[in-house]
Amino acid sequence: MVINVLDQKLYNMNPDYLSYTLSKAALQTATVALAQALAPKVRVVGLAPGLTMQSADQTPESFAAAHTVTPLGRASRPEDVVAAALYLADASGVTGTTLVVDGGQHLVPLPRDVMFLTGA
Protein backbone atom coordinates (compact mmCIF):
# COMPACT_ATOMS: atom_id res chain seq x y z
CA MET A 1 0.00 0.00 0.00
CA VAL A 2 1.40 3.36 -1.05
CA ILE A 3 -0.22 6.70 -0.19
CA ASN A 4 1.34 9.60 -2.09
CA VAL A 5 0.78 12.98 -0.47
CA LEU A 6 -0.32 15.42 -3.16
CA ASP A 7 -2.02 18.84 -2.90
CA GLN A 8 -5.45 20.24 -3.74
CA LYS A 9 -3.61 22.75 -5.97
CA LEU A 10 -3.65 20.02 -8.63
CA TYR A 11 -7.41 20.56 -8.95
CA ASN A 12 -7.32 24.36 -8.68
CA MET A 13 -4.25 25.57 -10.56
CA ASN A 14 -2.69 28.99 -10.24
CA PRO A 15 0.79 30.22 -11.19
CA ASP A 16 2.13 30.41 -7.62
CA TYR A 17 4.63 27.83 -6.33
CA LEU A 18 5.13 26.53 -9.86
CA SER A 19 7.97 24.06 -9.22
CA TYR A 20 6.13 22.64 -6.19
CA THR A 21 2.93 22.21 -8.22
CA LEU A 22 4.81 20.59 -11.11
CA SER A 23 6.43 18.09 -8.74
CA LYS A 24 3.04 17.20 -7.25
CA ALA A 25 1.57 16.79 -10.76
CA ALA A 26 4.39 14.38 -11.61
CA LEU A 27 3.70 12.44 -8.42
CA GLN A 28 0.00 12.26 -9.28
CA THR A 29 0.87 10.81 -12.70
CA ALA A 30 3.20 8.33 -10.99
CA THR A 31 0.34 7.37 -8.65
CA VAL A 32 -1.83 6.30 -11.59
CA ALA A 33 1.01 4.60 -13.49
CA LEU A 34 2.21 2.70 -10.42
CA ALA A 35 -1.33 1.63 -9.56
CA GLN A 36 -1.59 0.11 -13.03
CA ALA A 37 1.86 -1.47 -12.93
CA LEU A 38 1.75 -2.89 -9.40
CA ALA A 39 -1.83 -4.16 -9.20
CA PRO A 40 -3.08 -6.46 -7.84
CA LYS A 41 -0.24 -6.91 -5.34
CA VAL A 42 0.18 -3.25 -4.36
CA ARG A 43 -2.42 -0.49 -4.20
CA VAL A 44 -1.26 3.07 -4.90
CA VAL A 45 -3.40 6.10 -4.07
CA GLY A 46 -3.03 9.84 -3.64
CA LEU A 47 -4.14 12.04 -0.78
CA ALA A 48 -4.46 15.75 -1.59
CA PRO A 49 -5.00 17.95 1.45
CA GLY A 50 -5.69 21.64 1.29
CA LEU A 51 -4.28 24.27 3.61
CA THR A 52 -4.11 22.36 6.90
CA MET A 53 -1.54 24.04 9.10
CA GLN A 54 -0.50 27.65 9.45
CA SER A 55 2.66 28.50 7.54
CA ALA A 56 5.51 30.37 9.20
CA ASP A 57 4.69 33.24 6.84
CA GLN A 58 1.05 33.47 7.93
CA THR A 59 -0.54 35.26 10.81
CA PRO A 60 -3.35 33.48 12.65
CA GLU A 61 -5.71 36.03 11.10
CA SER A 62 -4.58 35.36 7.52
CA PHE A 63 -4.76 31.60 8.10
CA ALA A 64 -8.36 31.92 9.31
CA ALA A 65 -9.23 34.29 6.45
CA ALA A 66 -7.91 31.81 3.88
CA HIS A 67 -10.70 29.44 4.83
CA THR A 68 -13.58 31.86 4.54
CA VAL A 69 -13.64 31.20 0.78
CA THR A 70 -13.98 27.40 1.09
CA PRO A 71 -17.44 25.85 0.73
CA LEU A 72 -17.16 24.28 4.19
CA GLY A 73 -15.76 27.51 5.65
CA ARG A 74 -12.98 25.78 7.53
CA ALA A 75 -9.52 24.34 7.17
CA SER A 76 -8.63 20.73 6.64
CA ARG A 77 -7.66 19.69 10.13
CA PRO A 78 -4.76 17.28 10.66
CA GLU A 79 -7.25 14.73 12.01
CA ASP A 80 -9.23 15.00 8.73
CA VAL A 81 -6.12 14.12 6.75
CA VAL A 82 -5.28 11.24 9.11
CA ALA A 83 -8.85 9.88 8.84
CA ALA A 84 -8.61 10.03 5.04
CA ALA A 85 -5.27 8.20 5.08
CA LEU A 86 -6.70 5.50 7.35
CA TYR A 87 -9.69 5.13 5.02
CA LEU A 88 -7.44 4.77 1.98
CA ALA A 89 -5.25 2.23 3.79
CA ASP A 90 -8.32 0.15 4.68
CA ALA A 91 -10.28 0.47 1.42
CA SER A 92 -9.06 -2.62 -0.44
CA GLY A 93 -11.08 -1.73 -3.54
CA VAL A 94 -9.42 1.66 -4.06
CA THR A 95 -6.33 2.19 -6.21
CA GLY A 96 -5.07 4.69 -8.77
CA THR A 97 -7.15 7.60 -7.54
CA THR A 98 -6.71 10.66 -5.33
CA LEU A 99 -8.82 11.73 -2.38
CA VAL A 100 -9.00 15.52 -1.90
CA VAL A 101 -9.43 16.66 1.72
CA ASP A 102 -9.61 20.44 1.62
CA GLY A 103 -12.95 21.75 2.86
CA GLY A 104 -13.91 22.21 -0.79
CA GLN A 105 -11.07 24.64 -1.51
CA HIS A 106 -10.47 22.99 -4.91
CA LEU A 107 -14.02 23.96 -5.95
CA VAL A 108 -13.33 27.70 -5.71
CA PRO A 109 -11.16 29.02 -8.56
CA LEU A 110 -8.68 31.60 -7.29
CA PRO A 111 -6.21 33.62 -9.38
CA ARG A 112 -3.50 33.35 -6.71
CA ASP A 113 -2.54 30.99 -3.92
CA VAL A 114 -4.41 31.73 -0.70
CA MET A 115 -1.11 32.83 0.84
CA PHE A 116 -1.22 35.88 -1.42
CA LEU A 117 -4.94 36.60 -1.20
CA THR A 118 -5.08 37.04 2.56
CA GLY A 119 -2.26 39.47 3.12
CA ALA A 120 0.06 36.95 4.77
DSSP string, the chain: -EEEE--GGGGS--STTHHHHHHHHHHHHHHHHHHHHHTTT--EEEEEE-S-S--TT--HHHHHHHTTTSTTSSPPPHHHHHHHHHHHHH-TT--S-EEEESTTGGGS--SS-HHHHTT-
Q: Among residues 11, 17, 20, 87, which one is catalytic?
A: 20
**Residue 87 a catalytic site member:** no
Q: Report, as residue numbers or ranges, the catalytic residues.
A: 20
